[in-house]
């Protein structure tokens, strides 16, 4: 894990400067894909609590455009939190009718029990202590999350080889500190004291490669995915876990 991203001060500095350089569009292009992926779980929250979703709280809101889509969909107030003041300044320009709070995801200043729905997508891999982060959400009424599943035997071997020889990895340069597969992600959620009310695993975005080695890797990945999806998941990763949770109170 890069040491620069394990301390609160340096973590904030990374997202104020380096992250915006690497992702100047704040992944706005992924918002529709994320919303469509999560909409089924979000609709389940409406079914479970008809007329009671008054407030949606997104952690790691980035541009705020996903929060805008979700809050408009459920007709609720939207509150976004992000560690970066620079990112939040852009979010305020790109959205309307939302409120924003600057805070570290592991030190949330808001009373989550007052929020009807807590949301985050592509976040938990960025926090230094994911289990503690999830444990801090146990007072929330409902949690909808998207967790990328990047871990696979071949993907991990390439990743750790690049680290060993000192070559940059896209996962570290965009701030990803952790890697999961389906089993380890589900165990993480349960170990934090959260109950899975519903979840699914689906194929996530295909990576576009430019080198011949990368294109060969990508073609092999796609071919295996069409033939044996379960084996593809084990070898290459590249999936997402979509989950609806609440605190496991033993009832």
Average pLDDT over residues 234-249: 88
Confidence grade of residue 92 (pLDDT, cut at 50, 70, 90): very high
Check residues 187 and 28 and name the one with the higher pLDDT.
Answer: 187
**CA-to-CA separations, 95 to 28, 64, 111, in angstroms, rounded:** 12, 7, 24
pLDDT of residue 22: 80
Given this model, what pLDDT does residue 243 score? 98
Summarize the confidence of residues 174-181 as an average pLDDT: 84
Residue 227 pairs in a beta bridge with none
In DSSP notation, 143-209 reads EEEEEEE---HHHHHHHHHHHHTT---HHHHTT------HHHHHHHHHHTTEEEEEEEEEE------
* 119-128 pLDDT per residue, tens: 999 999 999 9
Residue 100 has pLDDT above 90, yes or no: yes
3: pLDDT strictly greater than 50: no
Q: Across the chain, what does the average pLDDT equal?
A: 86
pLDDT at residue 171 in the model: 43
| 41-62: average pLDDT | 90
Closest by CA to 122, choosing from 69, 82, 163, is 82
pTM score, two decimals? 0.86
Q: How confident is the model at residue 147 (pLDDT cuts 50, 70, 90)?
A: very high
pLDDT value of residue 1: 41
Contact 95, 68 (CB under 8 A): yes
| Whether residue 21 has pLDDT greater than 50 | yes
What domains can be seen in the chain, in order of their start residue? 3-150+176-205+239-247 (3.40.50.150)
Smallest CA-to-CA distance from 193 within 139, 123, 234 is with 139
The better pLDDT of the pair 143, 21 is held by 143
């Amino acid at each position: 894990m890069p040491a620069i991203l394990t301390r609160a001060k340096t973590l904030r500095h990374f997202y104020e400067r380096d992250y915006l350089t690497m992702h100047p569009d704040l992944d706005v292009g992924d918002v529709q894909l994320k919303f469509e992926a999560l909409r089924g779980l979000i609709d389940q929250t409406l079914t479970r609590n008809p007329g009671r979703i008054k407030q949606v709280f997104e952690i790691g809101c980035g541009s705020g455009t996903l929060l805008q889509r979700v809050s408009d969909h459920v007709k609720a107030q939207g509150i976004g939190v992000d560690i970066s003041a620079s990112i939040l300044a852009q979010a305020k320009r790109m959205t309307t009718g939302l409120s924003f709070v600057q805070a570290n995801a592991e030190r949330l200043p808001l009373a989550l029990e007052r929020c009807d729905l807590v949301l985050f997508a592509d976040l938990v891999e960025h926090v230094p202590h994911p289990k503690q982060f999830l444990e801090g959400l146990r007072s929330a009424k409902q949690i909808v999350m998207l967790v990328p599943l990047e871990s696979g035997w071949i993907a991990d071997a390439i990743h750790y080889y690049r680290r060993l020889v000192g070559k940059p990895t896209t996962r570290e340069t965009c701030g990803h500190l952790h890697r999961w597969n389906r089993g380890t992600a589900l165990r993480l959620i349960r170990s934090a004291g959260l109950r899975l009310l519903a979840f699914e695993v689906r194929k996530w975005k295909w990576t576009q490669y430019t080198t011949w080695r990368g294109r060969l890797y990508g073609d092999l990945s796609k071919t295996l995915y069409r033939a044996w999806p379960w084996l593809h998941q084990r070898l290459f990763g590249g999936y997402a876990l979509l989950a609806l949770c609440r605190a496991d109170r033993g009832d």
